[in-house]
Structure 1
């Protein structure tokens, strides 16, 4: 079958992929016991937020998506944002805003309801001790 996806289908697939990625990050942060970088281009600041964490083995059916503490950490991209300034306060506020978005999305998801899980900012704060930043 030879066909092409419409622009609308492509835009919906991209949007749904972003939603699924945020749900996955929320779940993985709940299962683990970060890092950030910023730069500027033509006087516009950009900040990437990413985190290195141990993730479940999605290929293992018996693992019930539990994290092996000896597993190699995987890098997950949280977002890339344009920022108004290049300060530590703006960086932390951006990170917390990103965590609020991930928390809200994950907590409303069918996955969270099925597994009876809630992602709270306190879960993120436990991970925050491993966060790196360059402001």
Structure 2
């Protein structure tokens, strides 16, 4: 079976992000409890949770793209990719460093997540 190029990319990168999410989550659960405040741990865990949601979203994009090859899901894929970097990674960095600049970038990542889901919705509405 031949995979649509975006389906393959989304499946590979989504899987890699899920693997990374497990490692980062384990680090947070086992390595940070005695290092950061409970509030910072909540921020870190929020980053992990959204990291997982959107890595799974990338797997969903791969499945949908392979099934409906005429859809254009690039916006959703790249929005989730950038959203994980801006939202989740900045949650991690803020929790670990307490540098406010990292916290200020987080909403941009959230906006990317909204854009990705909105673009996916728009493409789904095109299906007959």
TM-score by length of 1: 0.26
Q: Which has the higher helix share?
A: 2
Q: Which has the higher strand share?
A: 1
TM-score by length of 2: 0.28
